[in-house]
């Protein structure tokens, strides 16, 4: 006889908890229920920590060569082995991860800023401004990015900063279109009109009422841009047009590994594995964030 009462009490408790949770608490709970994304987040975090903190505890030098210890297989002394110049691969993976991730995050943030500004202005302001910004975006989309990336990288000096600027210039257009479309769909809603009727300025309306509604697609797009930037940097480095030696990157480490694929396969397998796992984690995390940031998703609890 007490089961219906206890069930009703539990339902009321759950409803109360859901009513008092904030949006970001709901996002975190939904992400926790996405087990693949949660594992991807943990693994990606470990890779970042390994790249940042690892070199502080390494007993080897990033630039010192030892031809007597070249092409050593993974062992207790060099748990990822050594390369063709006797340099410790584990340390080069750490430093290369720093550069690759720095480029990836920088490109993601810069393109995020450009796409937000252009998309927000285009979506909120009608008429000439919208037409001008969207035509500029169309022109950027119509440019064959790969050949131009190769040309600009060739004359960019091969520094991390030049790679960041070049990749950022071709990574913002999709986000700008997404932000514009989202703003067009919500700028005439009642809560925006109410804010406008109270005398709020356009900047306040944009920052406080409209842009927060674009967070979900913006964050998901930022994760995709992060993956794109890491792939692009690795591809450019593999072609010899990325960050130049002696600074290592994961893509650059694959260049010298080609001629040793049979005698020393770890030269290609280890940086390739780090690159593959990192991109896989970013893609899984993007899928999980897409679901977690969707307010229509409901928790099964």
Alpha-carbon gap, residue 137 to 174, rounded angstroms: 9
Q: What is the pTM of this model?
A: 0.81
| Cβ contact 96:62 at 8 Å | no
**Residue 207: per-residue pLDDT:** 74
Domains, the chain, in order of start with CATH, read: 23-53+95-292 (1.10.3720.10)
Along the 301 residues of the chain, how does pLDDT read in single tens digits? 445 555 555 555 545 555 567 767 777 788 888 888 889 999 999 999 999 998 888 888 887 888 888 888 888 888 888 888 888 888 999 998 998 899 999 999 999 999 988 988 888 887 888 889 999 998 888 887 777 777 777 776 667 888 888 888 888 998 899 888 888 888 777 777 777 777 777 777 777 777 777 777 888 888 888 988 888 888 887 777 777 777 788 888 887 787 888 888 888 899 889 999 999 999 898 888 887 876 555 444 4
> For the segment 99-111, what is each residue's pLDDT rounded down to a tens digit?
889 999 999 999 9
**Residue 105: per-residue pLDDT:** 93
């Amino acid at each position: 006889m007490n089961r219906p009462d206890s069930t009703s009490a539990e339902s009321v408790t759950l409803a109360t908890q859901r009513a008092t949770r904030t949006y970001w608490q709901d996002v975190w709970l939904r992400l926790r229920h996405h087990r693949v994304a949660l594992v991807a987040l943990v693994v990606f975090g470990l890779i970042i920590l390994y790249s940042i903190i690892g070199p502080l505890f390494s007993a080897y030098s990033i630039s010192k060569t030892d031809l007597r210890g070249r092409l050593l297989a993974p062992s207790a002394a060099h748990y990822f082995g050594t390369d063709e110049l006797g340099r410790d691969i584990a340390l080069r993976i750490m430093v290369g991860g720093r550069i690759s991730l720095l480029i990836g995050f920088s490109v993601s943030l810069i393109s995020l800023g450009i796409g937000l500004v252009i998309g927000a202005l285009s979506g909120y302001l009608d008429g000439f401004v919208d037409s001008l910004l969207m035509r500029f975006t169309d022109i950027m989309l119509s440019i064959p990015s790969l050949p131009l990336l190769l040309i600009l990288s060739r004359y960019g000096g091969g520094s991390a900063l030049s790679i960041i600027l070049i990749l950022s210039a071709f990574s913002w257009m999709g986000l700008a279109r997404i932000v514009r479309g989202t703003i067009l769909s919500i700028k005439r809603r009642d809560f925006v009109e109410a804010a406008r009727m109270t005398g709020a300025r356009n900047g306040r309306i944009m920052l406080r009422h409209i842009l927060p509604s674009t967070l979900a697609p913006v964050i998901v797009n930022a994760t995709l841009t992060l993956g794109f930037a890491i792939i692009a940097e690795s591809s450019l480095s593999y072609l010899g047009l990325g960050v130049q030696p002696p600074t290592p990157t994961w893509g650059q480490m694959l260049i010298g590994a080609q001629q040793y694929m049979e005698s020393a396969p770890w030269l290609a397998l280890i940086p390739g594995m780090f690159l593959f796992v990192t991109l896989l984690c970013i893609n899984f995390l993007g899928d999980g964030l897409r679901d977690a940031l969707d307010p229509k998703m409901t928790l099964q609890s």
